[in-house]
Structure 1
Amino acid sequence: MEKVKEFLELDKEGAECVSRLTIPPHRVGSECSFYEDFALRGIRVDRVESGFVSCSFKVPPRLTDRSGNLATGAIANLVDEVGGAVVHIEGLPMNVSVDMSISFLGTAKLNDELEITSKVLGRRGGYAGTIVLVRNKETGELIAEGRHSLFGKQASKL
């Protein structure tokens, strides 16, 4: 436990950096939130069809681990966001993630261009399942495959 505490402890420079951060509360309808700016900046939507979304993403330094690879948490975030986008219905609140399963099959390096595709596997009531594939756009290598289950309000049938 002590090793973990030491690892997470900030040095003087890091502590000063964190103390200078200003994160104003997010107001709906205003500029991007801290989360959107940090984690989602750079995702470009390339194609949207019924039950299918394709996006591009260039791996930025802020989302890499110490080895220079796209962090697994960032990949999980991409699976969550793009998997949720494919089942979102305009005018209804975003769906809530119920379950995610991700197979990490490769690595993406800083500045690699990724293609993220999501497809609806099925819907039943307010429940939906998606599959999300994260590929290196240049090589075609599969970086990760995610299965994502979500729950949300249904569109009115009236």
Structure 2
Amino acid sequence: MEKARKTLQISREESELVSQLRVHPHRVNIEHSFYEDYAIRGIRVDRVEPGFVSCTFKVPSRLTDRSGNLCNGAIANLVDEVGAVLVQVAGLPMNVSVDMSICFLSTAKVNDELEVTSRLLGQKGRYSGTIVLLKNKATGELIAEGRHSLFGQHRSKI
């Protein structure tokens, strides 16, 4: 219990950094939201084919933990974003995540360049399944594997 308490305890410096954070409301379609600017900035799409997307992502220090590793939450966010973009259809409401399962296999450090690929596993009705792989581009080492299920509300044909 003491180890968990120590791990979750934040330092005065960390507390001050968070208190200085300013999040202003953004103007939709005019400027980036805090989320877009903080969490997904830097994802570069390299290749798009039916049922496949490949991206490159250089690990920024803002998404690392105290040990300098890419945070598990940032990995989960990449699985969510890159998996969802694969099944998004222009003009239709966004799909929502129903389930994600992620195997964390290794770590990535600041400035590591990751290759993030997503493949469509299948679709049945309004449900889609994708698999997302995060690999260290220089070494080929698999960082994480995520399976992502999504539900999309399609427009009625009536």
The Cα shift of 1:105 comes to 1.0
In structure 1, the gaps of 5 or more residues are none
2:39 match: secondary structure? helix
Q: Deviations over 1:2-40 (max 9, x none)?
A: 886776565554444433332112332121100111110
Cα distance change of structure 1 residues 9 and 108 upon mapping to structure 2, 3 Å threshold: closer
1:122 match: secondary structure? strand
Q: 2: distance between equivalents of 1:156 and 1:52?
A: 27
Aligned partner of 1:82 in structure 2 is: 82
In structure 2, the gaps of 5 or more residues are none
Q: Determine if contact 2:53/2:117 at 8 Å carries over to the other structure.
A: yes
Q: 2: distance between equivalents of 1:19 and 1:132?
A: 34
- How many equivalent residue pairs? 158
Aligned partner of 1:131 in structure 2 is: 131
- 1:26-65 matched pairs, under 5 angstroms: 26-65=26-65
**Corresponding letter in the other structure for 2:47:** R
Aligned partner of 2:140 in structure 1 is: 140
Cα distance change of structure 1 residues 30 and 3 upon mapping to structure 2, 3 Å threshold: farther
Aligned partner of 1:107 in structure 2 is: 107
Q: TM-score, normalised on structure 2?
A: 0.89
Q: 2: distance between equivalents of 1:15 and 1:143?
A: 30
**RMSD of Structure 2 on Structure 1 (CA):** 2.0
Q: Which stretch has the larger CA shift, 20-29 or 98-107?
A: 20-29
